[in-house]
Amino acid sequence: MLRPRIIPCLLVHNNGLVKTKQFKEPKYVGDPINAVKIFNEKEVDELIVIDIDASIRKKEPDYRLIENLAVECRMPFCYGGGIKTIEQAKRIFSLGVEKIAVSSAAVENPRFITEMADKVGNQSVVVVIDTKKKTINGTYELYTYNGTKANGIDPFSFVVEMQKAGVGEIVINSIDHDGMMDGFDLDLLFKIRHLVTVPLTVMGGAGKLDDLGAAIAQHGIIGVAAGSLFVFKGKFKAVLINYPTRKEKECFFFKNNFLKENSIDNLDRQ
Amino acid sequence: MITIVDYGLGNIRAFCNVYERLNIKTRTARIPSDLKNSEKIIIPGIGAFDYAMMRLNASGMKEELNEQVLNNKVPVMGICVGMQILAERSEEGVMPGLGWINGSVKKLIRKNDSMKTGQDNEDLVGLDEKISLPHMGWNDVVPVEVNSLFREMEMPRFYFLHSYYFAPNSRALIIAYTNYCGDFASAVREGNIFGVQFHPEKSHSYGVQLLKNFALL
């Protein structure tokens, strides 16, 4: 039985690991390589690392950092930040990255998604959609360049366009909930879910395991990504890399009705 | 000594790291002579079929691989698209595969998709119309019987990342099944030739055990 994926998402800024709040006020939390080593020990499902400087500063991806992270990383590794060309993508794959995440480049040139999928297979092409809720009418708007550029684009129609272009995974991220640890935007997730036929990952706002559980209870096999949840611990948000153990995961899947009907004991074995 | 084929695809370093932690020596093969006197060979892979075959052809190592694997019977294991290129051909592309195992590579299909196109696929048991593709994440691998690759593993699960699967002509060659869009072959074996659809190099302790088992065959 395919399981929901529980995914730490690390943000890199000036070569350090940071956490943001609504994409602002990056706060240094540690060294990215050390964080990856700890996540290795915790046997996390997969890892996302985003360089939040790269597209704004229009700089090349930091290949040395990517290579160092990839060498260390014992789980599937998705890297994003500033990737605009096939050459950059190919070079990053050659460093040992399983998936590449694109945001601004997908908005500016949807054909880039098709090109990448043709070259490397769609399973390795991820589009991250950063969204903000418009206070006026409660609709959502897509943002690029690390939440600084409004595009007037509706994320729901953009998702459909990306799937036609051949994307392999969609990550839907709420800028409003980023770093707030007040739960995912389940309304956004619910609205986008039925449009998505590729694997979907929700991000932004998870503050406790139950927040991940709520998304899984609603949507079953889904990716749930979090930054703050796996980097901070306790009321005073001390920096402590953490992640549920295998047993905690199984209990938590069961609690959220995921394993009940689909228990491994019921697997039809040949 | 495990020889890992570097033809520009897949995570070579990840394999080397796993074996290093197991104190098993590895070497990387980039040119044909690097393959000589191999004890065991791993063909990593990720990505599209045609691109993989193109890179393998361009590496110049195909003939020597044929020699080592088909004539010298060196144990070889293909990973992900490295497993798919063991086949004769793939629905994903136009290039011929290595043809080491008879069969072809097919696309994973949701049952309702196949109903729409009227396609009849006997491999398809198929169920949930909400199934996402590509197949992405940790899934159970069920060995057909106790076999050497899956020794010392309880309820193994591995990380999958693919949209296509290898359907060998002979089902007897399937040594493990995984359920997604129906049951498909997550591992195959014909003699000295093994293939696994998942990524043992990225599957934590299960992957480490499988790679160890392969090394100790």
pLDDT tens readout for residues A78-125: 999 999 999 999 999 888 899 999 999 999 999 999 999 988 889 999
Is residue A269's pLDDT more than 50? no
Kindly state the average pLDDT of the residues B122-136.
Answer: 64
Domains in chain B: ranges and CATH: 2-215 (3.40.50.880)
pLDDT value for A61: 94
Binning pLDDT at 50, 70 and 90, where does residue A257 land?
Answer: low
The catalytically annotated residue of B64, B80, B162, B181 is B80
Domain that holds residue A188: 5-262
Would you say residue B188 has pLDDT above 50? yes
Tokens standing for residue A138: 């409660």
For range B106-123, the mean pLDDT: 58
Residue A142 pairs in a beta bridge with: A131
pLDDT at residue A200, as a whole number: 97
* Statement: residue A268 has pLDDT above 50: no
Q: Are B11 and A96 in contact (CB < 8 Å)?
A: yes
Contacting residues of B for A123, CB less than 8 Å apart: 46-47, 134, 136, 161-163
| Cβ-Cβ contacts under 8 Å for A236 (sequence gap 6 or more) | none
- DSSP-derived secondary structure for A47-78: EEEEESSTTTTT----HHHHHHHHHH--S-EE
Catalytic residue among B135, B152, B201, B204: B201
Residue A11 lies in a domain: yes
Judge whether residue A58 has pLDDT over 60. Answer: yes
Token pair recorded at residue B165: 């699967």
Q: What b/e sequence results for B19-42 when a residue is b if at least 16 CB atoms lie within 10 Å of its CB, and e otherwise?
A: beebebebeebeebebbeebebbb
**A256 within some domain:** yes
Q: Tokens for A145, please give them.
A: 């360049």
pLDDT greater than 60 at residue A260: no
Binary contact (A75, B8; C-beta < 8 A): no
Question: Phi and psi of A205, rounded to 5°?
Answer: 115, -10
Confidence of residue B42 (pLDDT cuts 50, 70, 90): very high
**Average pLDDT estimate for B53-67:** 97
Of the two residues A260 and A200, the one the predictor is more confident about is A200
Whether residue A270 has pLDDT greater than 90 = no
Tokens of A12: 């890199």
The chain-wide mean pLDDT, for chain A, equals: 91
Cα angle vertex B19, ends B18, B24, to 5°?
Answer: 160
Q: From chain B, pick out residues whose CB is under 8 angstroms from the CB of A266.
A: none
- At B111, the pLDDT band (50, 70, 90 cuts) reads low
Mean pLDDT calculated for residue range B59-84: 98
Residues 6+ away with beta carbon under 8 Å from B123: B106, B167, B182, B183, B184
Q: What SS3 string covers chain B?
A: CEEEECCCCCCHHHHHHHHHHCCCCEEEECCHHHHCCCCEEEECCCCCHHHHHHHHHHHCCHHHHHHHHHHCCCCEEEECHHHHCCCCEECCCCCCCCCCCCEEEEECCCHHHHHHHCCCCCCCCCCCCCCCCCEEEEEECEECCCCHHHCCCCCCEEEEEECEEEEECCHHHEEEEEECCCEEEEEEEECCEEEECCCHHHCHHHHHHHHHHHHCC
Q: Which amino acid is at A67?
A: E
| A250: CB partners within 8 A, 6+ apart | A259
pLDDT tens sequence across B19-37: 999 999 999 999 999 999 9
Q: Give the CA count within 13 Å in the CB-facing half-sphere of A1.
A: 18
Spatial distance between the Cα atoms of B97 and B85, rounded to a whole number of angstroms:
5
Dist CA B127 CA A267 (whole Å):
14
Helix, strand or coil, per DSSP, at residue A177: coil
Share of chain A above pLDDT 70, in %: 95
Q: Looking at the domain assignment, is residue A88 inside a domain?
A: yes
Instruction: Flag whether A21 is in a domain.
Output: yes
On whether residue A270 sits in a domain, the answer given is: no
List the catalytic residue out of B64, B92, B162, B199: B199
The CATH number for A212's domain is 3.20.20.70
pLDDT confidence of B178, banded at 50, 70, 90?
Answer: very high
The number of distinct structural domains making up chain A is 1
Of B212, B206, B201, B213, residue with least CA distance to B45: B201
Eight-class DSSP state of A168: S
pLDDT by residue (tens digit) across A190-219? 999 999 999 999 999 999 999 999 999 988
Q: A269 in a domain, yes or no?
A: no
Task: Supply the pLDDT for residue B112.
Answer: 55
B159: pLDDT strictly greater than 90: yes
Q: How confident is the model at residue A258 (pLDDT cuts 50, 70, 90)?
A: low
Task: Give the total residue count for chain A.
Answer: 270
Compute the mean pLDDT over every residue in chain B, rounded to the nearest whole number.
Answer: 91
Nearest to B204 among A43, A70, A120 (CB): A43
CB contact under 8 A, B137 and A2: yes
Question: Does B181 qualify as catalytic in the annotation?
Answer: no
Rounded CA separation B96/B203 (Å): 29
Tens of pLDDT, residue by residue over A35-47, are 999 999 999 999 9
Compute the nearest-CA separation of B25 from chain A (Å).
17
Note whether A75 contacts B47, CB cutoff 8 Å. no
Q: What's the pLDDT band for B130 if we cut at 50, 70, 90? A: low
d(CA B149, CA A114): 37
Instruction: Tell me whether residues A169 and B136 touch, CB distance under 8 A.
Output: yes
| B196 has pLDDT over 80 | yes
Assess whether pLDDT exceeds 70 at residue B119. Answer: no
Which pLDDT score is estimated for B113?
53
Distance CA A127, CA A167 (A): 7
Interchain CB distance below 8 Å, A199 and B134: yes
Using a CB-CB cut-off of 8 Å, the residues of chain B touching A92 are: none
Q: Which residues of A are catalytic?
A: 130
> B88 near B97, Cβ under 8 Å?
yes
Flag whether pLDDT at B185 surpasses 80: yes
> How high is the pLDDT of residue B147?
77
Best B9, B136, B181 residue to mutate vs chain A (most A CBs within 10 Å): B136
Amino acid in position B109: I
A38 touches chain B (CB under 8 A): no
Residue A245 touches partner B, C-beta closer than 8 Å: no
The answer on pLDDT for B118 being more than 50 is no
Q: What is the pTM of this model?
A: 0.92
